[in-house]
Structure 1
Amino acid sequence: MEDELIDSSRLSLPRKSVLPGAGFFYPDSLDESRAEERAREKLEEASVAVVTDTDADGLGCVALIREVYDAALDVEDFEARIEERLGDEDETDDDEDDEDAALELDEGEKEEEERPKSSVALVGSSPYSLEDDLLRVAEYAPEGIDVFVCDLCPDRYEYVEDELEALAEVAGQIRWFDHHQWKPDVEKKVRDAGVELVVGESDEECSTDVALRELDYDFDERFVELAEVTRDHDLWLNEDERSQDLADYAYWTSKEEYVAIVGAYGADLPPVVEEYIAHRRVEKENLIEAAVDRADMKTVGDWTIGITYGRCSQNEVADALREKGADAAVVVKPAGSASIRGSDDFERCHEVAGLVNGGGHPKAAGCKPDIYDDMLDYAHHWTTQGATTKRVILNAFERVAEMPEEDEDIETER
């Protein structure tokens, strides 16, 4: 396949909106080999490892942990590289949303490989790769390493059982900070495996809040404020305009850059980062508008569901659909995943996602239905703008509508 065929910079916005980014087309074997190589490089000489989700909340935890261990990377190098990107007219947004499993070989990761490594290794993970990443730490980290797991929640203990056992044989201690909805049996078994697990109230705290509270350290005020602003976005409060900047910046840049910048500045991002965010938002707004314009409103039980398709920022699209009268919003992505966002009138997103290979919070969840057997299925997905995925997720809403709230018998399909 010619590189030009998956180069988003060559596409018009309407076509870019309905197709996945370049990372989607990388085979899993390439992703896995690159992930193995990066993990080995980061972990071999590390004294601490953090396995974390790579959104602003998970990365905020890393910034706090690196502060505790005096392991922050030099921020000036990152700022210089941002200046270089601003001067590059060819820079484009080829990122996929944080619920996609595909890894991007983008400029940010190329740069990341050239930077000095922190003694607190950052192992980016997701609900789909958690067990693999835990095992990589067990395989490549030195004996006695301290391990933190942040902003991640396994659907079933069996998914991480063997990996935690292997990790426990290597690690000096394992601490886990999270705020998702944990099943009681999973929570108990993780603790029984020797993990110091702390789960915050999902409607009151983000994982960065939990880390700030549980780490025995006198944090500077900028870290306290970072947790507050991160919570504002992660819990969909939207009361602090800086929280969207943090979310966008974490989404658009490399993991190491985000951690270094917020570790140095907290929630008050420096001018060069604000300029970078403004530059990237021009296209972001256009993609949001396209997704909102193609949305449909569906009635399921007593709820109105706004459902749409496209490469876009799901949170702003969900806000727009709620303004149009939706109780819940579904954004189906070109890579096959979907984001489900609720409201005060719908707090069962995690139940819907749990029926279609996903999970999350009552008001925010993600999933990727297991319906893609070959590339013809994906071709149908792109040309019909997610018709099958939409139907599967709407069917899940119908099943939830027939169940009592918080039905413990819902079994996550995976």
Structure 2
Amino acid sequence: MYDELIQSGDLSLSRKSVLPGTGFFLPDTLEEDLEEQQTEAALEGAEVAVIADPDADGLACVALLREAYGDVQNVPEPDDTESEDADEDRPEPVADATDDADEQNTVVAAGDADEPLEEPEPTPHNVALIPASPHNVEDALARVAEFGDEGIDIFVCDLAPDRYEYVEDELDAALETADRVAWYDHHQWGDDVAQAVRDAGADLVIGDSEEECSADVVYRSLEYDFDPKFEELAAVTRDHDLWLREDPRSDDLADYAYWTDPAEYVEVVREYGVDLPEWVTDYIAERRVEKEALIDQAVGRAELREIGGYTVGITYGRCSQNEVAEAMREQGADASVIVKPAGSASIRGTDEFELCHEVAGKVNGGGHPKAAGCKPDIYDDMLDYANHWTTRGAVTKRVILDAFRDVVDEAEEDAENDADADDD
């Protein structure tokens, strides 16, 4: 296959909106080999490994840990003569500032990425960053167990396994290698999964998913006297991660984390906190031009459906799902679904609908009551994906809307049973 057929950076906006990124077309074996090489390089000489979701919340956890362990390196600022070249060297962004933390169990990142295979950090860190997503945290644990030095400290941040058996063997291997395994998260865990992780020997701290982000959990769990800017970093990260939208700086953090290299993001927020330097804000503003155009494309495709007394907005496109969901909410949606070209979908709720995680749970996903994600298990071959792109996700939309109907029916039945029990 010719490279230009799968490279989406130069596509027209209308085509980029409906097709997945370059990462979608790369074989898993290639990605796995490169991830293994990058993990080995990152862990060389490291005393700490941080397995984290590479969104703003997960990367804030890495910044906090590097500060606590004294792993401080200077952040180079591009000067005027280098800024143009620096922009050219940046990876083409995924056209979706997605929150993997909000999309538990969703296979999103590789499928949407224009440049999915990042180089390892150029300067070795004592606190190594090992990016992972919810669907491959066990692989990251296994690689750290294999390549980490004996006695290494391992932290897992902003990631939750759906079932303990998914991580059981890999966690055991990591515990054999490490002096300590600490797991900090804020997603909703099954009681049996959490207990099994603790029984295995990991120090697990789970924050209230309605009140804290993972950075909050790390901030309060580490025995370290942080500079006030790190408390502010956690607070502003929480503002976006929990979709509070009370601090405009949180959108800057989310977009920057999504568009830039994870290594750069960690060092910039560790150095500057939430008050990003001008060269970063200029970069964000430039990238937002395309982001807004892709949002408009997805909003233009949106439809509203009535399901059991709720209005559900649904659309398709490679876009920033939170802003698209907000636009559908303004059109009257109690919940919104954004189906992605890579086959996954984001589900967003409101105060009127807080069962997003239950809907996602019926279609190979999970998450929070107001923010969840999924990837329905309906793609058997590339012909299914071709149909997905040409029909703008018709089958995926139908499957997820059916899941909405089931969840709403079950909620109504539970309410009726509770009422009958009260009468008795």
- 1:169-208 residue pairs with structure 2 within 5 A? 169-208=176-215
| 1:24 match | 24
Match of 1:8, SS? coil
Distance (Å, rounded) in 1 between the aligned partners of 2:25 and 2:241: 29
What is the match of residue 68 of structure 2?
Answer: 68
2:167 maps to 1:160: yes
Q: Which runs of 5+ in 2 are unaligned?
A: 101-105, 415-424
With over 3 angstroms needed to count, the CA separation of the structure-2 counterparts of 1:276 and 1:406, relative to structure 1, is: farther
**Number of the residue aligned with 1:102:** 110
- Per-residue CA shift, 1:346-382, capped at 9, x if unaligned? 1111111111111111111111111111111110000
- Contact 1:85–1:91 (CA<8 Å) still a contact in 2? no
1:316 and 2:319 correspond: no
Using the TM superposition, name which of 84-93 and 331-340 deviates more: 84-93
Q: Is the 8 A contact 1:16 1:311 kept in 2?
A: yes
After superposing the two structures, state which structure 1 stretch, 167-176 or 272-281, moved more: 167-176
Distance 2:223 2:90 in 1: 45
Deviations 1:106-165 (A, max 9, x none): 39924x45x101111111111110111111111110111111011111111111111111
Looking at structure 2, the residues matched to 119 and 90 of structure 1 have their Cα atoms a distance apart, in angstroms, of 25
In 2, distance between residues paired with 1:7 and 1:331?
Answer: 23
Per-residue CA distance 1:302-330 (angstroms, 9 max, x = gap):
21110000000001001101000001111
- Which residue in 1 is equivalent to 2:305? 298
Residue 397 of structure 1: aligned partner:
404
78 and 331 in structure 1: CA distance in 2 versus 1, 3 angstrom threshold: farther
The whole-number CA distance in structure 1 between the counterparts of 2:411 and 2:197 is 28
Question: In the alignment, residue 120 of structure 1 is paired with which amino acid?
Answer: V
Residue 87 of structure 1 deviates from its aligned partner by: 4.9
| Cα distance, 1:86–1:40 mapped onto 2, change above 3 Å | closer
Name the amino acid aligned to 2:29. S
- 3-state SS in 2 of match to 1:325: coil
Whole-angstrom CA distance in 2 between matches of 1:219 and 1:244: 23
Deviation at 1:93, TM superposition (A): 3.0
Q: Name the CA shift for 1:82/1:218 in 2 (closer, same or farther; >3 Å).
A: farther
Post-superposition shift, 1:10? 2.8
**Which ranges in structure 1 are unaligned for 5 or more consecutive residues?**
408-414
Check the 8 A contact 2:93/2:114 in 1, yes or no. no
Paired residues of 1:101 and 1:128 also in contact (CA < 8 A): no
Answering whether residue 51 of structure 2 is matched by residue 51 of structure 1, we say yes
Partner Cα separation in structure 2 for residue 73 and residue 125 of structure 1? 23
List per-residue Cα deviations over 1:237-263 (Å, max 9, x = no partner): 000000000000011011101100000
CA 1:90–1:253: 2 relative to 1, 3 Å? closer
Letter in 2 for 1:106: E
| Counterpart contact for 2:21–2:114, Cα < 8 Å | no
Report how far residue 399 of structure 1 moved.
Answer: 1.2
- CA offset digits 1:24-69 (Å, max 9, x no partner): 1111111111111111111132100011111100110000000011
- 1:325-344 correspondence runs (5 A): 325-344=332-351
Name the CA shift for 1:406/1:233 in 2 (closer, same or farther; >3 Å): farther
Distance 1:406 1:200 in 2: 31
Counterpart for residue 142 of structure 2: 135
Among all aligned residue pairs of Structure 1 and Structure 2, give the percentage whose two residues are the same amino acid. 62
Provide the rounded CA distance (Å) in 2 between the counterparts of 1:229 and 1:80: 29
Q: CA deviation at 1:94?
A: 4.2
**Contact 1:82 1:276 survives alignment (8 Å):** no
In 2: Cα distance, 1:90 partner to 1:153 partner: 30
CA distance in 2 between counterparts of 1:396 and 1:148 reads: 35
Shift of 1:72: 3.1
Q: Is 1:93–2:102 an aligned residue pair? A: no
Secondary structure at 2:161 match in 1: coil
Secondary structure of 1:312's partner? coil
The 1:66–1:386 alpha-carbon spacing in structure 2 relative to 1, beyond 3 Å, is same
Shift of 1:23: 1.2
Could you tell me how far 1:300 is from its partner in structure 2? 1.3
Shift in CA distance, 343/150, structure 1 to aligned 2, threshold 3 Å: same
The residue type paired with residue 40 of structure 2 is R
Where do 1:236-315 residues align within 5 Å?
A: 236-315=243-322
Aligned partner letter, 2:22: A
Q: CA deviation at 1:76?
A: 1.1
Moved more, 16-25 or 73-82: 73-82
Query: What is the number of equivalent residue pairs in this alignment?
Result: 405
> 1:36/1:337 Cα in 2 relative to 1: closer, same or farther (>3 Å)?
same
Contact 2:71 2:125 in 1 (8 A): yes
AA in 2 matched with 1:305: V
Counterpart of 2:88 in 1: which secondary structure? coil
What secondary structure, in the 3-state scheme, does the structure 2 residue paired with 1:399 have? helix
Tell me the equivalent position of 1:36.
Answer: 36
1:117 and 2:117 equivalent? no
CA distance in structure 1 between the aligned counterparts of 2:114 and 2:73, rounded to whole angstroms: 22
Find the residue that maps to 1:10 and give its secondary structure: coil
CA 391–75 in structure 1, closer or farther in 2 if over 3 Å, else same: same
Match of 1:209 in 2: 216
TM-score (norm 1): 0.93
Cα 1:87–1:139 shift into 2, 3 Å: closer
Paired residues of 2:18 and 2:318 also in contact (CA < 8 A): yes
